Structures are given as C-alpha cells and as structure tokens.
Amino acid sequence: MKASMPIGVFDSGVGGLTVLSAISKKLAGEDLIYLGDTARLPYGTKSVDTITRYALQASAKLVERGVKLLVVACNTASAAALPALQKAYPDLPVLGVVEPGARAACAASVNGRILVLATESTIKNKAYQRAIHAIQPKAEVTGVPCSLFVALAEEGWVNGPIVESVAKEYLKGIFALDSGDGGSHRPVQPEPDCLVLGCTHFPPLAASIKAVAGNGVTLVDSAESTALTVAEALAAYSLLNANRGSTPGTISLLTTDNEARFARTGSVFMGRHILESDVELVCL
C-alpha cells in the first residue's frame, strides 16, 4: 500500500521544481506532489526559527496528502530545519538537498577548493561547509550569500547583462574578472575548481554564472544527486512503486499564492510548460 503513495517535495518557491523534474526523470513511475510556499518567499533571509516553522507547516500539508517520503527541495530549509522535520515525522523518510550536493561537489573538485553560492541563511548556517568537511576534511570551502539571484530567478531573468553584472559583483575577489572599466578584479586566494549552486533557484542562472566564473570551474547542481538519493531511499525502505510498470506517474502542483505566476515562472524551472489550471492554491 505504501509503495503506491506519492513522494512529497516542497520549497519556498518554484526553485525546487528543478529537483522535482530530476526525480520525475529518475523515477518515472512515481506519483509526485510539489508544494511551493510562494506566499512567504524567500526563506533565505528569515531567522532559523521562522524557517523551521514554515518548513513544518509546508511538510504537514504534504503529509496530509499521504506522502511516503518527503524531500526538502530547499537548501535553506534543509540547512535550518531538517532535524526538526525528521523529529516531527520519525516514521517518514525525510531527505534534504545539502548532503547530496556536498557529495557531488567533493566528487567534482580536484584541488579541494569549493565555492558555495547560496542564500544568506544557508551560508550563515554553514551547512554545506559541515557536509563537505564530513566527506573531505581538508577541503577549502568558501560561502557567498547571493540573495539577489533568488529574485532574478523568480522574475524569470536568467541571462543577459543584468544577471551577469550581479554575478560579477558576487564573484569578484574569487575569480579573475574583467571589471568592465579597463581594470580587473584579482582573486585574493587560489581559485576554486568547483562551484555549488546551493539554492534550488540558481540552476536556471547557471549559464550566466558560468560565463562569469569561466571554464576552469565545474558547476554542481544538487538536483541530480538528490534524485539518486531519493531512489536509494525508496529502495532501502521498500517503497519503490513497482506496480506502475511503464505507466508515467502523476505530478500535482500546489502553491500558497498566485497560481498564474507559479505556472509562468515554474515553467522555466520545470523545463516544460505549466498551465495555471495545473496548479492548486492551498493555505498553510
């Protein structure tokens, strides 16, 4: 019975749709429910207590829908609230995106210098630093809060001079960059060879970030590694939906505010067109 239940995924907004999409491709026969708490976006500038309260409320809504596994597809909530969520639902597998992202970063880095771009809260919490050092103790991890990236992604501004200008501001002093006025910004230490997109809102901006950082750095997005972790957890708990066969699973989309905006912006993150009628408005 449990195996036929859906997987629940939540984020502060539409960014976690990148994780949902990766899970859908990895586990095509599974039913998925996604909740984007867009009414209270962003989580990244909130206090730990507030983030935890919001995450508990969002997860409760998905648990009401009978999910068999919960994915916290928000780096900020994973960093701040994962232990509280696991304590609140001891019989439910609850997975975050930080540890899968950290594993992918350690596998990608050759020189052990890793840059994490994330929200203010995630950087302050040092969640990625701890997760990376647990795998690779000698890694040099630098964290940069990039809150403006969230706003740009939510507006659908994922490329062009404005995005690259913001990226240059965040990355100057870390990479050797042309300042645009005939000068240059030199790094204050050896450049990292791995850059972690430590917020699910950042992947659509990856091309612009890469254009600024240069070809010498590998970008890591935790979506793919999280999908693999979900598949492993379902197998470990005997929760894989073997009954669906080749039948594609269903995807239900929930939001706490403005279905039309969710559909419009979410289409960028999901990689396919979302209709407003596909989105259900819920109250937490």
Strand ranges for 28-161 from DSSP E: 32-36, 69-72, 94-95, 113-118, 140-145
Which DSSP letter does residue 93 get? -
Under 8 Å CB-to-CB from 91, ≥6 apart: which residues?
none
Q: Among 74, 106, 146, 194, which one carries the catalytic annotation?
A: 74
Which DSSP letter does residue 30 get? S
Decide: 216 and 193 in contact? Cβ < 8 Å: yes
Burial class (CB in 10 A: 0-12, 13-18, 19+), 97: buried
Q: State how far the Cα of 260 lies from the Cα of 239, in Å rounded to an integer.
A: 34
- Comparing CA positions, the residue from 196, 157, 151, 206 lying closest to residue 38 is 151
Q: State how far the Cα of 60 lies from the Cα of 127, in Å rounded to an integer.
A: 24
Decide: 201 and 191 in contact? Cβ < 8 Å: no
Number of Cβ atoms within 10 Å of the Cβ of 31: 18
Q: Among 106, 146, 199, 283, which one carries the catalytic annotation?
A: 199
Question: Is 199 assigned a catalytic role?
Answer: yes
Cis amide linkage into residue 93, ω under 30° from 0: no
Q: At what angle do helices 98-108 and 127-135 cross, to 10 degrees?
A: 50
Question: Is 106 assigned a catalytic role?
Answer: no
Decide: 267 and 274 in contact? Cβ < 8 Å: yes
Decide: 209 and 202 in contact? Cβ < 8 Å: yes
Q: List residues with catalytic annotation.
A: 74, 199
